[in-house]
Amino acid sequence: MVCRETEGFMSLAICPGSFDPITRGHIDIIRRAALLFDRVIVVMMINPSKDPAFSAEERMDFIRRTTAGIPNIEVDYYVGLLADYAAKCKATAIVKGLRVMSDFEYEFQMALMNRSLNPGTETIFLPASIDYMFLSSSAVREVGRYGGDIAPLVPDEILDEVKQRLCVKKGL
């Protein structure tokens, strides 16, 4: 039997997303993945047919700054299929957070598609922490655009920039 330890195996997880912008919920999943795997790559997937609120450069900068304190985290971006990226870096697992049951159908389909494209990488779901069950990047954008309090939703390091970029004039 081949023992992964004796082969010098290092487990590698990837945490993919659009991160438009990164939220406290993402950070929670990334931190927990970092406890489970030797290395974690947070990969921002670029979809050229989407029009994100934050540029790719801004989103990468936000990810880098908010994950800087986690030792086994690397940050990357990719244009293309997640399954191809996972195969390219020989990832052990794709880690996704699951918030509510409505996430499940979409995420389950994606997991099956990714597995059929790349059987070498498993998808693992981590249940969202209770504080972040309702949290999404789109909720951050919506609340922020109308001047609502996004401090509980967005990491401290990027809060002011996210607020400034999203906030529209009150009364509009």
- Would you tell me which residues interact with ligand PNS (CB under 6 A)? 16-18, 45, 81-83, 110, 113
Nearest-approach distance from CB 82 to ligand PNS, in angstroms: 4
Is the CB of 136 or the CB of 147 nearer to ligand PNS? 136
Is there a catalytic annotation at residue 26?
yes
Contact assessment for residue 72 and residue 88, using Cβ atoms and an 8 Å cutoff: no
Query: Can you tell me which residue has the tokens 């974690």?
Result: 40
| CA atoms of 49 and 51, how far apart (whole Å) | 7
Catalytic residue among 59, 96, 137, 141: 137
CB 43 within 8 A of CB 16: yes
59, containing H or E segment? helix 56-67
As measured in angstroms, the least distance from the Cβ of 124 to ligand PNS is 14
Q: 16: which 2 tokens?
A: 């993919």
Distance, in Å, from the CA atom of 113 to the CA atom of 101, rounded to the nearest integer, reads 19
Which contiguous run of DSSP H or E holds residue 126?
Answer: strand 122-127
**In terms of CB distance, is 52 or 147 closer to ligand PNS?**
52
Clarify whether 50 is annotated catalytic.
yes
Q: What's the closest the beta carbon of residue 45 comes to ligand PNS, in angstroms?
A: 4
Give me the catalytic one of 31, 39, 65, 99: 99
* Closer residue to ligand PNS (CB): 81 or 87: 81
Catalytic residue among 49, 50, 102, 170: 50
Catalytic sites, residue numbers: 26, 50, 99, 137
